Amino acid sequence: MPAIPIKDHIFTIVGGASLVGSATAEHLLAQGAAEVRVLDNFSLGGDGAIAHLRGEPRLKVIRADILRLPELLEAYRGTHGVLHLAALMTLNMDRDPWTGLDVNIRGAQNSIEAARQVGAQKFVFASSNATYGYGPGIKGDLVETTPFHSVGAPPAAILYGASKIIGEQLCRDAFRKHKLDYVVLRYSTVYGERQHYRAANALYIIETYDALKAGRAPKVFGDGSETKHFVYVGDLARANAAAFESAATDVAVNASGPEAVTTLELVRLVTEIAGGGPAPEFEGETPGKVRLTSGGAFRIANEEAAKILGWVPQIGMREGLRRLITWLEEDRRRNA
Amino acid sequence: MPAIPIKDHIFTIVGGASLVGSATAEHLLAQGAAEVRVLDNFSLGGDGAIAHLRGEPRLKVIRADILRLPELLEAYRGTHGVLHLAALMTLNMDRDPWTGLDVNIRGAQNSIEAARQVGAQKFVFASSNATYGYGPGIKGDLVETTPFHSVGAPPAAILYGASKIIGEQLCRDAFRKHKLDYVVLRYSTVYGERQHYRAANALYIIETYDALKAGRAPKVFGDGSETKHFVYVGDLARANAAAFESAATDVAVNASGPEAVTTLELVRLVTEIAGGGPAPEFEGETPGKVRLTSGGAFRIANEEAAKILGWVPQIGMREGLRRLITWLEEDRRRNA
């Protein structure tokens, strides 16, 4: 049965000590899950990401590595649903493509294999709008059938996107060959409480905020008209749950926020939340910095997710940014 | 220096006991190469592929595996140019995606790493028109900037195409980080003497010929108007040499034959060479068979290769098919 109720069921979140993992664990527990297993090797994820859930008896933290299949076979036993988040993104892929391709591809193979070996009922694979690529080809509505654009994009971004395409196809292959039910969610750039510093676009929010608070002008590349389409982490937690709960299988859908924003709008919103600050400074290319560009205004369409999973994002940029920055300030006070 | 003369230089052909490898080795030797190293693990390639070169003192056959970096470091020492052919294609990728992704991705990583460690002057990477994908998006002119289409394609074909995209980007990454000069050639479907049976489209030629010779009607999927764009192996051998000899670096170009053909034209040509036979039979989908479909008529443009490498394919389908089938008959007589 491809539909798994959250209540009284067991879920494993792979790469769970993370932004999306921690929010999803919290959500699944709140929805009455019998047990949520947070599996992580803690190489990128940290204890801090799941600190707010400490003491919850239904939460189980498992230190394991997705490159070691035996550890997954052990950890997945008895699980009803697997959420596969573990991956290296573009910035880390640039630094270490050997680990990046291993984790994103062999890791996905191991995870899918373990899920079907233990008889898990559904596999939810976190993919990315990176499967549409970057560069001038990216404009207008990005829908689930949009092809992968790579001209004009940095190698690491293409490696990342291609590795996610491979992960998706490994799911399709397992469905065809082994009847493993799955849903692929193509996340747009995630942001929110427990934000990490590894995603180029989300990092930009924090860099902008920090510049403003320090009295420095935030930097805007080009004329600031380039679009970004974020999704609030709490909305994604619900999307992940919806992927388990719905009868949908053998499908890939976008999971993006209510609206796209231009860089200038984003800077304006952050400035508003920061309580003012210097006007942005416009600049050209920074050598050695991995930038993810598009061909102009684009929107990552999420109508398909509404239709197939009944999921609609609820948190707009202003509210989401407010939550992120409130958390950021609290987190820094705690760690000061 | 990104330009390497063939004469008096040393070349290593990785995955060389093969259709393209054997033709390229022969061509490089004829052009006066000091030494040609054919490296293969002989898991797919066979001794037969290089039997015609036996006794040539400048040919060195090295049994090694691209998944073992130390073997490559040893084998590449002193080489001026590396031609990287080793890969699993769609049919084998479907049977064994674990080996397929290892060979195509980790294999490319190892090979690039070894090439730069030994100070090779140029790396030629055999990519594929599979980097444009398959399915309804594939029509018209496929140029080097065409994005990757995957909707409607079998998982294994997408895995293969994505693994080749990754190989290309690993070359770009090595050029940026380590100044390794490279040329990517995106081969279209190769055919010719020493044809193997592992490529879906080239296999179709042999199946058609065998059906005709046995008095059976050759099978045509759909209405036969779908296009294929082949390239004759001897033309590719010259393209590989041109990639070494030209000053071009950090570039990816198509290498396709003089013309695309429809399935019906292909069957007509094979029927002509077979000396007649039953008219084709039109059929629908065969369950379980991996088919590579397109959105209709397409052509893999090769103008860029002419401009950048000075390479133009010379052998048309009629002549190329005649050579393939002449070889096939001789080979079967030899092995009978």
Question: What is the 3-class SS of B52-72, one letter each residue?
Answer: HHCCCCCEEEEECCCCCHHHH
Distance CA B81, CA A77 (A): 50
CB-based contact B234:B315 (threshold 8 Å)? yes
Rounded (5°) CA angle B28-B34-B37: 65
Distance CA A96, CA A89 (A): 10
* pLDDT reported for residue A286: 67
Say which residue, A294 or B27, is predicted with more confidence.
B27
Contacts of A145 in chain B (CB under 8 A): 151
The nearest CA of chain A is from the CA of B27 a distance in Å of: 33
Contacts of B104 (CB under 8 A, 6+ apart): B87, B88, B93, B160, B163, B164, B166, B167
SS3 A1: coil
CB-based contact A29:A58 (threshold 8 Å)? yes
The nearest CA of chain B is from the CA of A157 a distance in Å of: 10
Nearest chain A alpha carbon to B108? A98
User: Concatenated DSSP letters for B147-201?
Assistant: -BB-TTS-HHHHHHHHHHHHHHHHHHHHHHHH---EEEEEE-EEESTT--S--HH
CB-based contact A168:A200 (threshold 8 Å)? no
> How large is the ipTM?
0.91
Structure-block tokens of residue B45: 């390639």
Strand-pairing partners, residue A191, are A232
Distance CA A25, CA A194 (A): 13
Distance CA B294, CA B130 (A): 11
pLDDT per residue, tens digit, chain A (336 aa), is 689 999 999 999 999 999 999 999 999 999 999 999 999 999 887 788 889 998 999 999 999 999 999 999 999 999 999 999 999 999 999 999 999 999 999 999 999 999 999 999 999 999 999 999 998 889 899 999 999 999 999 999 999 999 999 999 999 999 999 999 999 999 999 999 998 887 778 889 999 999 999 999 999 988 888 899 999 999 999 999 999 999 999 999 999 999 999 999 999 999 999 999 999 999 876 666 667 777 778 999 999 999 999 999 999 999 999 999 999 999 999 888
Cβ of residue B290 closer than 8 Å to a chain A Cβ = no
* pLDDT reported for residue A335: 84
User: Concatenated DSSP letters for B279-311?
Assistant: PPEEE-PPTT-----BSS-EEE--HHHHHHH--
Least confident span in A178-187, A278-287, B260-269, B271-280:
A278-287
CB-based contact A116:A133 (threshold 8 Å)? no
* pLDDT reported for residue A287: 64
Size of interface A-B (CB pairs under 8 A): 82
The pLDDT confidence band at residue B287, using thresholds 50, 70 and 90, is low
CB-CB under 8 Å, A170 with B159:
yes
Cβ of residue A101 closer than 8 Å to a chain B Cβ = yes
User: Concatenated DSSP letters for A67-95?
Assistant: T-HHHHHHHHTT-SEEEE-----HHHHHH
HSE value, Cβ hemisphere, 13 Å, CA-based, for A181: 17
DSSP designation for A251:
E
Distance CA A91, CA A89 (A): 6
Say which residue, B221 or A39, is predicted with more confidence.
A39
* pLDDT reported for residue B288: 64
Residue B113 reports pLDDT greater than 80: yes
Cβ of residue B170 closer than 8 Å to a chain A Cβ = yes
CB-based contact A122:A182 (threshold 8 Å)? yes
CB-CB under 8 Å, B150 with A165:
yes
CB-CB under 8 Å, A156 with B147:
no
Distance CA B200, CA B50 (A): 23
- Give the closest of B149, B159, B165 to A158, CB-based: B165
* pLDDT reported for residue B1: 63
Residue with tokens 């080009």: A222
Cβ of residue A138 closer than 8 Å to a chain B Cβ = no
Pairing relation of β-strands B261-262 and B227-228? Answer: antiparallel
B53-77: average pLDDT: 97
* Nearest residue to A85 via CA among A229, A204, A198, A7: A198
Say which residue, B251 or B292, is predicted with more confidence.
B251
Contacts of A148 in chain B (CB under 8 A): 133, 147-150, 165
Structure-block tokens of residue A175: 């469905």
How is chain A split into domains, by residue range?
A: 10-190+231-256+299-314
Kindly provide the b/e burial profile for residues A12-22, where b requires at least 16 CB atoms within 10 angstroms of the residue's own CB. bbbbbbbbbbb
**What CATH number matches the domain at A10-190+231-256+299-314, 3.10.20.340, 3.90.1150.10, 3.90.1660.10, 3.40.50.720?**
3.40.50.720
Contacts of B107 in chain A (CB under 8 A): none
SS3 A117: helix
* pLDDT reported for residue A266: 96
Number of C-beta neighbours around residue A275 at 10 A: 8
Amino acid letter at A192? Answer: G
* pLDDT reported for residue B286: 67
* Nearest residue to A114 via CA among A72, A142, A84: A72
Show contacts of A331-336: CB within 8 Å, 24+ apart. A331/A194
CB-CB under 8 Å, B105 with A101:
yes
**What CATH number matches the domain at B10-194+231-257+299-315, 3.40.50.720, 3.30.70.1290, 2.60.40.1760, 3.40.190.10?**
3.40.50.720
Kindly report the pTM of this predicted structure: 0.94
Distance CA A155, CA A29 (A): 39
Residue with tokens 């009803």: A80
The number of helix segments (H) and strand segments (E) in chain A equals: 12, 15
Number of C-beta neighbours around residue B281 at 10 A: 11
